[in-house]
Amino acid sequence: MVNREKEIVKTSVVGIVGNVFLVAFKAFVGFLAGSVAIIMDAVNNLTDALSSIITIIGTKLSGKAPDKKHPYGYGRIEYLTSTLIAVLILFAGGMAVYESIRSIIEHFESGAMPSFEIYSIVIVAAAIAIKVAIGLFFKKRGSKIDSEALKASGTDALFDSVLSTATLVGVLVAKFAGVYVEGYLGVLIGLFILKSGVGVLRESLSSMIGDRFDRDFVLAIKEEVNKIEGVRGCYDLILNGYGHDRNIGSLHIGVSSELTAREIQAIEREITMLMYTKYNTIMTIGIYAEDHSDEGSKRVFEKVIEIVKRFPHVLQMHGFFVDEAAKLISFDLVISFDDPDPLATIAAIKQETELEHEGYTVFIQYDRDFSLSE
C-alpha cells in the first residue's frame, strides 16, 4: 500500500531540487544578460520551490493524530498551506510586474538592451525541458496517490514552461532582431503569475468555507445505503471534510415502523461500518419510521405529494408520518438554493396541506440542499 505522506514528501523534494537548479541557472543568465524577463522567470521558479517546502510542512502537520484540543485531527491544515502558497505566488507576480515596468521605463530613458550569448539561449531552452519533466512527474505522482496539491503543482509547472518559452522567444528576438521585448514579456509573465495565485487562493478559501462534495461520490453512497436490507430510503446526507479521506457526516434512513430496536440497530451498524471502511467517513444515522400501509395515511400521503409537486424548487419530500391520535402530519422538504424565499415556500405548502386536512396540524422540517443539486 502506498504511503501517501511519504510519496508527497518525496515528490516535493524532487520539485525543490529541480526548481532550485532552475533558479540558479536562470538568475545567472538573467543577470549576465541584463534580462528582467529571465530574472522574473527565475523568481517564479523560486516560489515553486518554496511552495514545495510549504507542501511538505503542511503534509507533515496535517498527518498529526487527533488530540484533546483538535478531536477531528489536523487535516484542514492543507487548506491553510494552500492559502500561504497563494499569497507567495501573488507576491512573486506583483514583484514581476513592478520590476518589469521599471525595466520598460529604463529602456525608454537610456535605450538599454539585454545582451545574450548562444550559451545563455541553450541554458534557457534546457530549463524549459527540465520544467516540462518536473510538471509531468508531479501530475503522474499526484494522480497515483490522489493528491490535488501535486496535480495542481504539475499543471502549474507545465504552465510555467509555456511562460518560459515566451521568455525564450524574447531572448531570440533581442538577439537576432535587436528589438526590445523583455519588459513587456516580464509584465505578461507577472500577470499570469498573479492569475495563478488568485486561482489557488480562490480554491483554498472555498475549501475553508466548505465545498459541496462531488455529486458522483454522494450518489455512490446513497446507492449503497439503499441496497442494505431494511432501508427504505436514504436522505439528508451531510458531509464535512477534514482533510484527505477524512470525513464526518450524518444521514437519515427510512425503515418500517414495525422493526424492533435491535433490528434497527443492526441496520445502523452495517451502514456505519460501510461508511468507515469504504468511504473513510464517520457517520451518524438518524431514523425515519415509515408506514403508508393503511388507507388513511396513504390518502394523506398522495394528497401531500400533489401539493408539493406544484412548487418547482422542492427537490425532495421524505420522512412522511401521520399520527392519527395527535392529528399531526409531518414530513421533511429539501428545497433548492435557487428558491429566493424557501421559508415562504414551506409556509405555502403548510397552509395548503392544512386546508386539505381540516383539524390536522402540519409540521414541515426544512432541509437544505446539501447534496442533491448538480
CA 143 – CA 153 distance, rounded (Å):
12
Q: pTM of the entire structure?
A: 0.70
CATH number of the domain at 248, please: 3.30.70.1350
Q: Locate 21 and state its grid cell.
A: 537548479
The CA distance from 156 to 89, in Å, is 11
In terms of domains, do 276 and 296 share one? no
pLDDT at residue 285, rounded to an integer: 94
Same domain, 306 and 240: no
Render pLDDT for 54-84 as a digit per residue (tens, 0 to 9).
878 888 888 888 888 888 888 888 788 878 8
Q: Could you report the per-residue pLDDT of 236-271, keeping only the tens digit for each? A: 898 988 877 788 999 999 998 889 999 999 999 999
78, 172: one domain: yes
Which of residues 270, 290, 310 is at a domain's end? 290
364 backbone dihedrals φ, ψ, rounded to 5°: -120, 125
Residues 308, 314 contacting (CB under 8 angstroms): yes
Here the CATH number for the domain that contains residue 10 is 1.20.1510.10
Place of cell 459541496: 212
**Gap between the Cα atoms of 87 and 194, Å rounded:** 10
Q: 190, exposed or middle or buried, with CB in 10 Å at 0-12, 13-18, 19+?
A: buried
Residue with the bigger pLDDT between 323 and 154: it is: 323
Q: What is the DSSP string of 328-369?
A: EEEEEEEE-TT-S-HHHHHHHHHHHHHHHSTT-EEEEEEEE-
Query: Is pLDDT at 135 greater than 90 in this prediction?
Result: no
pLDDT in tens, 177-226: 777 777 787 788 778 878 888 887 888 888 888 888 888 888 899 999 99
DSSP line for 39-61:
HHHHHHHHHHHHHHHHHHHHHHH
Q: In terms of residue numbers, what domain contains 241?
A: 212-290
Nearest to 42 by CA among 164, 130, 156: 164
- What domain count does the chain have? 3
Distance, CA of 283 to CA of 81 (rounded, Å): 28
CA–CA gap between residue 28 and residue 6 (Å, rounded):
33
Choose one of 209, 242, 260: the last residue of a domain. 209
| Residue with grid cell 529602456, as numbered in its chain | 107
Residues 123 and 179 in one domain: yes
Q: How many CB atoms lie within 10 A of CB 261?
A: 8
Residues 300 and 260 in one domain: no
Q: Which has the closest alpha carbon to 239: 221, 266, 226, 264?
A: 221
Query: How much is the pLDDT for 1?
Result: 44
- Mark whether 13 and 153 lie in a shared domain: yes
Q: Please check whether residues 84 and 58 belong to one and the same domain.
A: yes
